Amino acid sequence: MATERVRINREITAKELRVVGAQGENLGVLSFDAAFKAAQELNLDLIEISPNAVPPVAKIMDYGKFEYERSKKESAARSKAKVSETKEVQIKVGTGDHDMALKAKKAAEWLADGHRVRAELFLKGRYKGMDEVFLKTRLEKFLNLIPYPYRIAEPVARAPKGFAGIVERDPKAVPGAAAPKRPEEAIVPEPK
């Protein structure tokens, strides 16, 4: 466990302690000897709960029970802590509209889970020599397909494999609302 060791019984160095009884009652400020004697009479331990308080706070209780409750609180806190990752979506210049829509939907799921999404336009061969404005526009077109409100963490820029940009969930936006789109960026399907 990563928690610091709690001082119990004779390990406590303070001369006076604010003591909490076994039932949670406040016994007031007692000398160490009086508090330790009260704990021994009940066959319990004297545990220093708050060593930085003035005077330090100690509780009379079973040390095993104290450790058990503390480990339960820590495991509950760990289970509630959410780990955020940076997920990656890779598209190419020739990726079709349907495939881009599917990848945008997956990116929206990741954003809803609280992850960041790195969108990368992968370039190989002759695509590396194409117009940079066109390539950036292609990646921005994909970002506009994401159906979840986001904000740009890192704008689209040159990356080792092509172009990349990172987006993350917008904490101010209402979940379920679509990402704001400007009219000139709206994707109009081509007639067949």
Q: Indicate if 16 and 97 belong to the same structural domain.
A: no
Model confidence band, residue 1 (pLDDT cutoffs 50, 70, 90): very low
Q: Indicate if 70 and 95 belong to the same structural domain.
A: no
Domain span at 168: 86-185
Q: Of the candidates 78, 96, 129, which is a domain's last residue?
A: 78
Q: Of the candidates 59, 78, 97, which is a domain's last residue?
A: 78
Dihedral (C-alpha) 14, 19, 22, 25: value to the nearest 10 degrees?
A: -170
For residue 83, what is the DSSP state? P
Q: Indicate if 73 and 94 belong to the same structural domain.
A: no
Q: Indicate if 14 and 35 belong to the same structural domain.
A: yes
Looking at residue 115, which CATH number applies to its domain? 3.30.110.10
Q: Indicate if 99 and 117 belong to the same structural domain.
A: yes
**Per-residue pLDDT, 191:** 53
Instruction: Return all residues near 58 (Cβ < 8 A) that are at least 6 apart.
Output: 12, 17, 18, 19, 20, 35, 46, 47, 48, 49
Average pLDDT of span 140-148? 89
Tally the domains of the chain.
2
What pTM was computed for the model?
0.50
The continuous run of DSSP H or E covering 98 comes out as helix 97-112
| pLDDT, tens digit (0-9, with 9 covering 90-100), for 126-139 | 888 888 888 888 88
Q: Indicate if 70 and 132 belong to the same structural domain.
A: no
Distance CA 7, CA 91 (A): 57
Q: Indicate if 96 and 181 belong to the same structural domain.
A: yes
Q: Indicate if 52 and 90 belong to the same structural domain.
A: no
| pLDDT, tens digit (0-9, with 9 covering 90-100), for 160-175 | 888 999 998 887 765 5
